[in-house]
């Protein structure tokens, strides 16, 4: 009898999980202080304000590019990152970016970053997975995976 009740309960749970209403229920968007750091950073990026972006980094922030089995530091200080971004904004004056699929795991915030820009009159876009490590309310490290 207990086995039959368990089977019925499992069947009901399975049907509920597979119902059309269950498919429409998405997890709530990520929230919290660490997400606020990243969204503030992204707002400053979209304003092309490298000075404001520094408010969101540690002085020894590290930007790391990942490719296959290689992890290569691009910058290892706030000043170096600031200078990289100033040059980037000069090279891409129309760039803006958004974050999709934000996920939080303790001090780590993961997202798909999607920049868009104009080049030779044509709209360009790409997407990269990015992982930010937030320590004491500021970005300590971030890792970019190859763009797709």
**Both structure tokens of 116:** 């868009």
119-145 pLDDT per residue, tens: 999 999 999 999 999 999 999 999 999
d(CA 52, CA 122): 29
Please report, for residues 9, 14, 18, 25, the alpha-carbon distance to residue 21 in angstroms, rounded to integers and kept in the order given: 19, 13, 8, 7
Domain boundaries, the chain: 29-144
Is residue 106 within 8 A of residue 97, CB to CB? The reply is no
Q: For the chain, give me the number of helices (H) and strands (E)?
A: 5, 7
**pLDDT score, position 25:** 55
**pLDDT score, position 32:** 87
**Both structure tokens of 54:** 């520094």
**Residue of 85, 3, 1, 4 whose CA lies nearest to 45:** 85
d(CA 141, CA 134): 7
Determine whether domain 29-144 maps to CATH 3.30.530.20. Answer: no
105-117 pLDDT per residue, tens: 999 999 999 999 9
**pLDDT score, position 128:** 97
Residue numbers in the chain where pLDDT is lower than 70: 1-31
Task: Report pTM.
Answer: 0.78
**pLDDT score, position 104:** 95
C-alpha distance across the termini of the chain, in Å? 54
């Amino acid at each position: 009898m207990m086995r039959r009740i368990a089977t019925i309960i499992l069947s009901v749970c399975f049907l509920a999980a597979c119902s059309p209403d269950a498919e429409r229920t998405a997890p709530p968007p990520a929230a919290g202080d660490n997400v606020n750091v990243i969204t503030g950073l992204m707002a400053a990026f979209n304003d092309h304000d490298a000075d404001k972006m520094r408010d969101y980094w540690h002085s020894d922030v590290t930007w790391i590019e990942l490719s296959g089995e290689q992890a290569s530091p691009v910058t290892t200080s706030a000043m170096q990152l600031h200078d990289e971004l100033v040059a980037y904004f000069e090279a891409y004056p129309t760039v803006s970016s958004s974050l999709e699929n934000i996920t939080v795991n303790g001090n780590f915030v993961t997202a798909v970053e999607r920049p868009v820009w104009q080049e030779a009159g044509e709209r360009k876009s790409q997407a990269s997975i990015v992982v930010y490590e937030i320590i004491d309310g500021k970005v300590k490290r971030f890792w970019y995976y190859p763009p797709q």
